[in-house]
Structures are given as structure tokens and as C-alpha cells.
Structure 1
Amino acid sequence: MATLEQIQTRMKKLQVQAEKIIARRAQAALDQIRSLMIKHGLTTEDIESRAKARRERARGEANGAAKSAKTAKGAPKGKLPPKYLNPKTGETWSGHARPPAWIKDVKDRSKFLIAGAAHGAATVSKAAAKSGKVAKKVTAKKVAGKKSAAKKAKAVGAKKAAVKKTAKKTGRAKAAPVKKAAAKKVSAKKASAAPATAPVAASAAA
């Protein structure tokens, strides 16, 4: 059976042989790399710059992934800022989804609004009021336009009726002198015929 010293000397010999084999393989790899560099016109600076760029790219990708992970942790998904607050218990509600029991049956929820949310609601109500005023102005303008058009139509109709009445009156006024002249002629004829008949009646009586 071999002693410990013999085993250790054998291990040293084996280690030397392994180092020689490793050095031989490394030299072969270096020779191969050198021949490839000469073949493609590359230098050690080219290799170093490309390796540096690759390292920086990998570092940037790692930093970007870490930042995105931090932002994802810092801003939880699906949570909305609170809009209503229960002053007794301190519970909050965002105003979306199903309302909690403390505000479920409340008709006027404005008293539970948080300051910032109340300001936002006020701005929304102001915007709605403005839009309502604008809509009222537009409808008032439309109604006024319709009324003015109706008034114009009435005025035109009244003018036409007045023109017709004046035409009728002028026609009647023109016809009246003609009738009067005809009546005068008839009366003149009657007057001229009356003296001629009177002597005839007198002679007949004698």
C-alpha cells in the first residue's frame, strides 16, 4: 500500500503534467486567435472596444430592468387615489367600484370629499355649469333667431294684406265716380224728356 508521501509526490507530478497540457492547449488557442486576427485585419484594440461596448450594453439593460422593477414596486397597479374619507373611522374610498357601507346609503356625498378631491369636483361642476350656460346661450340665440324670422314673416304678411286692402279701396274709389257720372247722365235724360211730355198731356186735356 502506498504511503502518503508517495501519493503526494505522484499528485505533484500529475499537477505538473496537467499544467503542461493546459499551457499547450492555451498556446494552440492563442495561435488560432492570432491567425484569425491576421486573416481579418483585427487588433487587440478592436477586440477590447467591442468587449467594452458589450459590457456597457449589458450594464445598461440591467439598470433599466432594475429601474422598471422599482417603479413597478413603488406604484402598485389598479389602485386609485382616495376621494372620500370617513372622519369617524378614517376609511377611504376612491369613488369607483362598489361603495362601502358607511357611504353606500348617503345621498349627499360631498361632505365626505377629501380636500383635493373636493377641489377637483368643484372644477368639474364649474366646467359643467359653464357648458350648461353655453348651451343655454346657444338655445336662446336659436329661439331669438326663430322669433325674429317669425316676426319678419308676420310683417311681410301684414304688408301684403295692406297692399291688397289699398288696392281694393282704390278700385272702389275709381268705380264710385263712374257710377255717379252714369247716374247724372240718366237724370239729365229724364229731365230733358219731362218738358216734352207735359204739353202733350195738356193738349189732350183741352
Structure 2
Amino acid sequence: MATLEQIQTRMKKLQLQAEALLARRAQAAVDQIRDIMLKHGLTTTDIEIRAKAKRDARFGKRLKANGVAKTSAGAKGKLPPKYRDPKTGATWSGHARPPAWIKDAKDRTRFLINGATAALEGNGASKVAKAVKKVSAKKVSAKKAAVKKAVAKRAPAKKAAAKKTVAKKASVARKAVTGKTVRAKAPASKRAGAKKAAGRKSAAAKAAASVSAI
């Protein structure tokens, strides 16, 4: 069986071997890092500057986050009361856990403070007004669309009616012109007939005169 001294000597030898292995690994890592730095033209100052910039950026983000959280927490503060117990006068803001006097109440509006009720009524009135405006806007847009459609439908009918009236006027004018020409031609034909009748009468008179002379 090994003695204590033998075990301690073995432990020392193993410790020396472990340290030697760690030194070899560290040396290999240093050599690798040196090769990379020489390859990319870096120095230890470059590495320190970049490491410092990263540390400052992280630290700045933490400070900003803490500052925002603190400011938001400070900005909230104490909320104004919204509900009041008419018996005891206790108030509640409407947030967090409700107190016992309003916890089981189904209708909490009867516990509202006057300002809160006015605000709620104002919100309701504004909502109603917005709804009315939307409905009226929709109606106006629908009326405008209907008027546009009616105008678009009436435009071709008006054009057709105008064309018909123009055609009627043109036909009436043509009939009037043709009637005048017919009337103008009629007296000339009558005159020709009268001339022919007069010629016939003169021929008959001449024939009669010649017969009487014989």
C-alpha cells in the first residue's frame, strides 16, 4: 500500500505535467493569434481599442435601459382617483387590485367620481359624434355617386334629343324650301298653258276668217 509521501510526490508530478500541458496549449494559442495579427496587420493597441469600444457600448446600453426604466417609473407616479366609496370616502384609481368595497360590484359606474363620469360621458359623446360623422359622410358620398350616375345617364339622352331636334328642324326647312320651289314653278306652267290656249284661239280665228272670205 502506498504511503502518504508517495501519493504526494505523485500528485506533484501530475500537477507539473498538467501545468506543462496548459503551457503548451497557451503557447499554441498565442502563436495562432500572432499569425492572425500578422496576417491582418493588427496590433495589441487595435485589439484594446476595439474591446474598449465594445465595453463602452454595452455599458451605455445598460445605462440607457436603467435610465428609461427609472424615468418611466417616476413619470407614472400616483394615478388620480376614479372611484369613491360613498360610505367611507375611500378612493381607487381603477388600476391594480380593486379594494374590497368595489371588488364584487357588478356595476362600478355608481362609484365613479364626477370628473370620471364626465370624462366617460365625453368619450361616449365623442364616439357618437364620430359615428354620426361617418354615417353622414357615407350618405353624402352615396348621394354624390348617384348624382354622377344620373348625370352620366342623362347626357346621352340629351345628346340624342338634341340630334332629333336638329334633324326635325332640318327636315322642316327642307320641306319649306321644296314647297316654295313648287309654288314658284306653278305660275310658270300656268303661263305656258295660257300662251298655248291663246295660240289655239288665234289659229281658230284665222281659220274662220279664211273660210268667211271664200
Name the TM-score, length of structure 2 as normaliser.
0.45
Name the TM-score, length of structure 1 as normaliser.
0.46
